[in-house]
Amino acid sequence: MKTIKLGIVGQRTEYWFHSLILRALSSVTNQTDLHKVHSLIVVSGQHQSTFFCGKLISKYSQFKDPVSSLSIFRINSPTHNVYLWNTIIRAMTHNGLWSKALDFYTQMRKLNVKPDNYTFPSIINSCGSLLDLEMVKIVHNEVSEMGFGSDLYICNALIDMYARMNELGRARVVFDEMPSRDVVSWNSLVSGYSANGYWEEALEVFREGRLSGVAADAFTVSSVLPACGGLMEVEQGQMVHGLVEKSGIKGDMAVSNGLLSMYFKFERLLDCQRIFDEMIYRDIVTWNIIICGFSHSGLYQESIKLFQEMVDEHKPDLLTVTSVLQACGHMGDLRFGRFVHDYILENRYECDTTACNIIINMYARCGDLVAARQVFDNMKRWDLVSWNSIISGYFENGLNKEAVDLLKMMRIDLQPDSVTFVTLLSMCTKLMDVDFTRELHCDIIKRGYDSTLIVGNALLDVYAKCGRMEHSVWQFEIMTSRDIVTWNTIIAACSHYEESYLGLKMLSRMRTEGLMPDVATILGSLPLCSLLAAKRQGKELHGFIIRLKFESQVPVGNALIEMYSKTGSLKNAISVFEHMSIKDVVTWTAMISAYGMYGEGKKALRSFQQMKETGTIPDHIVFVAVIYACSHSGLVQEGRACFNQMRKTYNIEPRIEHYACMVDLLSRSGLLAEAEDFILSMPLRPDASMWGSLLSACRASGDTVTAERVVERLVELNSDDPGYNVLASNVYASLRKWDQVRTIRKSLKARGLRKDPGCSWIEISNRVFIFGTGDRSFQQFKQVNELIEDLNRTMDKEGYVADLKFVLHDVGEDEKINLLYGHSERLAIAFGLLNTKEGSPLQVMKNLRVCGDCHTWTKYVSKIVQREILVRDANRFHLFKDGTCSCRDRWIGALVDFKTDAKLLRSPVSGQGNDLMLYPGRRMHRITAGLSRQSSEAFIGGKLRKRLPRLLKRIRILHQCTIVQV
């Protein structure tokens, strides 16, 4: 009995000792204490106990001491105890020794130790970390063979492993075959899809889980939020945010960071700021998201301020400081940029090549090339980004020779890449250096970058901006691939060079090839309609804008107002203006300018007042538009008041264009002496346009004394604009000083200057008919001439007398009358009357200003035929109705246009089957759109070739045909 009692006491003592050691193992917090407990186990003779060995292996593993874990395992090796094998495999996996873990698994299998359900999760984890797909297949097969295919934890591990290896199809198969799933199963699949960019699938699985009744946790939400951001699913993201608020997991750092990142992708910066402000705890990731997010959103100052707040709480990492350096570069904040760079040096950050490149870029953008070069020279190694950054820095700061020298240095070790070539082509764009562009183009072709889209787009742009439109078109045609930037660039180039027909043709081709225009496309296309006064195309574009839902964008609305105002549709321009919910200074300027073009000066002033009442601050362009409107409506006092208001109220110093508008205002109002005094008292040197405005007024009013003084001023300026020289010649012709006329004409001929001939055109049934002055050969000439004679006889009865001063040729009176009757606008109007329905309005375009006698003649015609006739000359619109004109006869009948624009002589129609009809010579010429490049010819009379060479050049380019003289 005593022996039994002693045995029981011994068992209790051993149990108590084991419990004591177990509690000691569980409570150790450092490796020193663990060594003490380990010593106690050895002294007590328990060092070969399977249980305590397993606990020691796990504990050393937790303290990142896999060597001690291996030592303990070897004391018990070889062993057939699966628990010890599982423990050492788990220890190796925990310490990132995945290959070692798989080696132990292989040894275990050789010893015929049968794995259990605790073995495979660690093995599967090691396979996934090594991305060893072959080993994965072996392990997965063994899992199935041993009957663990339905084990929840093993299946979860398999899903996670396949997700890490981007084998989402296999992961989904495992998931679908699971007999039961927990929240980890759903989270593993959602996380796998989201991490690999399969955002739609991630959201779909998330929805399935919610429908299955799975309660989403913090891990679920932090996995699905990147999918919402990636897909720009704002509503879905807000729904997940609502789930966060309801479930009480908002305090989880990963969830808050995920919400912050998602809202930055949605560009909902106020939501970002609110979430950030509500966060009680913030980690380094939080600060990186907010600082980088604001920097990438263009809120550079806010990004810098947040960085200053962050350094008080956390030490920023390299990602943070480089993001702030990028913000400093965009802001041009050299002082704070230097502070951040010094912070990097003081805290001994290890800057890699990428970080150094960002520092170089910051200094270059801020104009400190010495510091940029110092960082560049001190780098251990350079990549192409390093060279591109420093070369671009020198170029952006105007040191082009140094940039080229650096390019030569770079080529010793590295060859230029696409970014280098794009940088250099941008340099050519600013320098307008066509020769260097061609050299680069040759190099680009040699290096095989000519097929790179970004390089092709840069070539397209540089040729256009260097004035080589034909090269730009050629580059466009040879490009094997095109994106939206390509199309936008060529369309914008057409708009810049007023190649309207080609631009609209490109727009049509773009849509035919299935590429959807964006806002930039629309903004580049609308001016093409303005140049041609193509109402139909403009309305089609407007309809397209509505279908694309672009009408709410302010720049698009502004462009529509300008397009409609320039195509003779003031009513539509006003309608667009009134429907715009947001109006900026450009919107108001466009509307004021539109009223000015139509002689509605009082409405322009009313709009100007409304603009100020809305709180919009006028700029110098608005004042040009307002004074221009006053000029065309005879509002002298109002124009003076606006001019004075610039400096006094808005502190805007008048520019040369404001002075020119004031001269025009005074001249048109007959205040010639005041206009001359105004020019002479200007603080700026007057240009030819000012003297031209005054001379035009002198010519109209018959003030020959002032006219002669002004002519002398124009001659002194020796302007290369033929319009001013022709105006001076016309003044001398009106004074019958033919010697001076011949002198000016000889001077023009010697300098190779030539005034474009006057032409008018009218669009009927989607075909454009162009008439030159004195045309007699077109098919309906006889009917047109008879109609003009009938109209003239009716006018004579009503008091019309031809004003022969507008004929500046030394011929007889009868010949002068015949010359007036042959003016191009009269031919176009008569042709329109014959070929349109009675009572329908006419719209005629003219490349020069309408002469005074034609202005009077058209007023009579509008009354006789009871039709509205809208004539747009080079300066403004004239709406003739019931014998009156919208300009209220305040227009001055100058004999020359100061903004001659023969480039407008193009067909606005595009596509097959549309013809361009020309009537400027002795015969009719039809040019058919869409001719093939190889064989098409346009037979043009010799007289036409001499009179309109630029027009024919465009026909040859745009219609891709050969011009043949007959």
**Domain boundaries of the chain, sorted by first residue:** 1-113, 774-905
- Quote the CA–CA distance of 316 and 294 in Å, as a whole number: 16
839/851 Cα distance (integer angstroms): 25
Question: Angle of helix 318-331 relative to helix 334-346, nearest 10 degrees?
Answer: 160
Q: What is the pLDDT of residues 212-237, one digit of tens each?
A: 888 888 888 889 999 999 888 888 98
The rounded distance, in Å, linking the Cα atoms of 87 and 103 is 14
Q: Which of 196, 246, 248 is nearest to 223 (CA)?
A: 196
Taking the chain, what is the end-to-end CA distance rounded to the nearest angstrom? Answer: 140
User: What DSSP assignment string belongs to 705-769?
Assistant: HHHHHHHHHHHHHT-S-HHHHHHHHHHHHHTT-HHHHHHHHHHHHHTT--PPPPEEEEEETTEEE
Please state the rounded mean pLDDT for residues 772-790.
80
pLDDT tens track for 752-778? 666 666 778 787 876 777 787 776 777
Confidence label for 73 from pLDDT (cuts 50, 70 and 90): confident
65 φ, ψ to 5°?
A: -125, 70
Contact between 111 and 142 (Cβ < 8 Å): no
Q: Is the pLDDT of residue 360 over 60?
A: yes
* Residue type, position 100, single letter: K
pLDDT, residue 891, reads 57
Neighbours of 409 (CB within 10 A): 12
Q: Span 12-40, mean pLDDT?
A: 73
- Is the distance from CB of 478 to CB of 441 less than 8 angstroms? no
Q: What is the 3-state secondary structure (H, E, C) of 787-818?
A: HHHHHHHHHHHCCCCCCHHHCCCCCCHHHHHH
Does 609 score more than 80 pLDDT? yes
pLDDT band at 703 (very low <50, low <70, confident <90, very high): confident
Question: Is pLDDT of 8 > 50?
Answer: no
Asked if the model's pLDDT at residue 319 lies above 50, the reply is yes
Percent of the chain with pLDDT over 90: 16
Here the tokens at position 166 are: 């981007």
State mean pLDDT over 16-29.
Answer: 73
- Is the CB of residue 732 less than 8 Å from the CB of residue 711? yes
User: With 90 as the cut, is the pLDDT of residue 606 above it?
Assistant: yes
Compute CA distances 593 → 409, 555, 599, 630, 875, whole Å: 53, 16, 10, 10, 12
Least reliable range by pLDDT among 202-206, 687-691, 820-824, 900-904: 900-904
Predicted pLDDT of residue 825: 86
Q: Are 429 and 466 in contact (CB under 8 A)?
A: yes
* Residue 455: C-alpha distances to residues 440, 515, 878 (Å): 11, 20, 47
pLDDT of residue 637: 93
* CB contact at 8 A, 287 and 306: yes
Contact 750, 728 (CB under 8 A): no
pLDDT band at 894 (very low <50, low <70, confident <90, very high): very low
pLDDT, tens digit, for every residue of 167-209?
889 989 999 998 888 898 998 999 999 988 899 999 999 999 8
pLDDT value of residue 933? 31
Does 860 score more than 50 pLDDT? yes
* Highest mean predicted confidence (pLDDT) among 2-6, 548-552, 576-580, 667-671: 576-580
Backbone phi and psi for residue 963, each to the nearest 5 degrees, phi listed first: -90, 120
Residue-level pLDDT at 817:
54
pLDDT value at residue 1? 46
pLDDT number for residue 621: 92
User: What Rg do the C-alpha atoms of the chain give, in angstroms?
Assistant: 41
pLDDT of residue 873: 80
Residue 10: the pLDDT is 46
- Whole-model pTM? 0.61
Which helix (H) or strand (E) element contains residue 881?
strand 877-881
Q: Which token pair is 870?
A: 């809208």
∠ Cα 644 698 632 (to 5°): 45
Q: Summarize pLDDT for 408-425 with one digit per residue, the tens.
A: 888 777 777 788 888 778
Give the pLDDT of residue 541.
87
912-952 pLDDT, tens digit per residue, is 333 334 433 333 333 333 333 333 344 343 444 455 555 44
Lowest-confidence region among 402-411, 448-457, 512-521 = 402-411
Q: What is the pLDDT of residue 422?
A: 83
Omega before 78 within 30 of 0, i.e. cis: yes
Q: Name the most confidently modeled range: 73-82, 126-135, 626-635, 737-746.
A: 626-635
pLDDT at 315 over 60: yes
Amino acid at site 11:
Q
494 close to 465: Cβ distance less than 8 angstroms = no
